Amino acid sequence: MSRRVTRRRALAAAGYLAAAPAFSLNRVWGANDRIRVAGIGVGGKGSSDIEHAGRVMDVVALCDIDDQRLEQRARTWPSAQKFFDYRTLFERMARDIDAVVVSTADHSHAPASMMAMRLGKHVYCQKPLTHTIEEARLMREAAARYKVCTQMGNQGSALNGLRRAVELVRGGAIGNVAEVHVWTNRPAQYWKQSPDITARPMEAPVPKHVHWEEWIGPAAMRPYAVAFAPRPAYHPHDWRGYWEFGTGALGDMACHTANMPFRALNLDAPTAVVADAAEINTETFPAWGHIQYKFPARGTLPACTLHWYEGKRGNSRVLPPGDLIGRLNLRPGEQLPASGSILVGDKGILFSPSDYGNLFRIVPETIVEGRQLTRPETLPAGAESDQGGAHDAYQKAEWARAIRENRPEIATSNFDYAGRLTEAMLLGNIAVRFAGTELRWDAAKLTFTNNEAASRLVRKEYRRGWDLVRG
């Protein structure tokens, strides 16, 4: 591989994509035909993503800005073509791939995925689906326009437990729900942000194995840096805590932990969002936040407020109110889990002590376990366990089946659903910047009706040569 991509070559790749005709795949798959897949971002979570995709597809290309991570993953598929720039991958292999797995940092999700969909490629993209709210809308629209099969990587969607919880709530097991509480243990020890980092980290030499130009991608250029020597500030992990590259604790976990209640209550766009947060700065996400999403009535379902809690206020975690926790009837020795969700209905409470919503019980426990309650069978069977990545692999297989049958709806976290979930949740990251102010949201116009400054954060600018392909 060439170490550098010249400006001429980069612009040629971008021009190729801009000029490429938009088309959709209507291929009829034979029993022995193999789906050809490329992995974009194959380190970290991307490593298991492409591994699980490789169980049901042929891995023909790998792309990563980190040569070490790329070479490590390439040992599994030595015949796969290797790239460090996804634009070059699409330029050279557009006719040789059918599908793409995108597991980059958040700020590159949409540019890479939109290029793929415009070329008629099916896309699996890690959560959160996008970096901005506008991107979530564009991704959802593009998937429908190009008739491709898509899936977002909130793997809990594939678990039987989550699907049963959704059915029980929809079936009225806890009555009408007007109140939801979701909390997370991020960022804590997972990455660094406010209050540990509140200013631009110290510049440092770029490691020889890192292609910094390509990692920055569509973001404004800044130097490689270290935060707490020798810990890198951004790549390969702590980018999550920076406004420019990540989406913070909310983006990292809400597509997991809020997924079950969002599905169960048929939520879509809230009409307003308001946050309480502190230690806010221009570089990193706040030290803590409590965000309230106000959803309107949906048919016969009542209006609902979803509360999100993250971080620490001083030495204390931000969590649901104590009186609500007291109503959970925690068992002797049981403590509130590190993350979870609570749906408060007028007949009872559904309490999930897990990130994915697949483990749950109903309070009061008139029947010992929620899973034993009579339920309407409306959702297909999923993975029985999340052990060993069973749910992760199942979600890739579900995506592959959608491709083979040309039925995007088979993938239960397709971009039509995932775009709505991401769009709603990312509103909270704008609300924390205007803490204390209720922002009124017009979903149809993608704007806040009472705050122009907040509306400007719905979308972003892209660096030249890394533009978002919109058409």
Reported as a single tens digit per residue, the pLDDT across 114-166 is 999 999 999 999 999 999 999 999 999 999 999 999 999 999 999 999 999 99
Report yes or no: 193 and 242 within 8 Å, Cβ to Cβ. yes
45-53 vs 67-74: helix crossing angle, rounded to 10: 30
Quote the CATH superfamily of domain 7-154+392-414: NAD(P)-binding Rossmann-like Domain (3.40.50.720)
What residues have CB less than 8 Å from 42, skipping those under 6 apart? Answer: 49, 50, 62, 63, 64, 69, 70, 73, 103
Write out the H or E segment, with its range, that includes residue 49.
helix 45-53
Q: Cite the residue boundaries of each domain of the chain with CATH code 3.30.360.
A: 158-190+247-378+422-456
User: Chain-centre distance of CA 166, in angstroms?
Assistant: 20
**DSSP string of 1-23, one letter each residue:** --S---HHHHHHHHHHHHHSPP-
What residues have CB less than 8 Å from 69, skipping those under 6 apart? Answer: 42, 43, 44, 47, 236
Tokens, residue 397: 């297989």
Distance (Å, rounded) from C-alpha 12 to C-alpha 18? 10
Assign 3-state DSSP to the chain and report helix, strand, coil percentages, each to 5: 35, 20, 45
Is CATH 3.30.360 the right assignment for the domain spanning 158-190+247-378+422-456?
yes
Distance (Å, rounded) from C-alpha 119 to C-alpha 113? 10
Reported as a single tens digit per residue, the pLDDT across 365-401 is 764 344 445 566 678 888 888 888 899 999 999 999 9
**pLDDT per residue as tens, the chain (471 positions):** 333 444 444 444 445 455 454 444 567 887 778 999 999 999 999 999 999 999 999 999 999 999 999 999 999 999 999 999 999 999 999 999 999 999 999 999 999 999 999 999 999 999 999 999 999 999 999 999 999 999 999 999 999 999 999 999 999 999 999 999 999 999 988 999 999 999 999 999 999 999 999 999 999 999 999 998 888 999 999 999 999 999 999 999 999 999 999 999 999 999 999 999 998 999 999 999 999 999 999 999 999 999 999 999 988 999 999 999 999 989 888 999 999 999 999 999 999 999 999 999 999 876 434 444 556 667 888 888 888 889 999 999 999 999 999 999 999 999 999 999 999 999 999 999 999 999 999 999 999 999 999 999 999 999 999 999 876
State pTM to two decimals.
Answer: 0.93
Residues comprising the chain, all counted: 471
Q: Cite the residue boundaries of each domain of the chain with CATH code 3.40.50.720.
A: 7-154+392-414
Distance (Å, rounded) from C-alpha 383 to C-alpha 180? 25
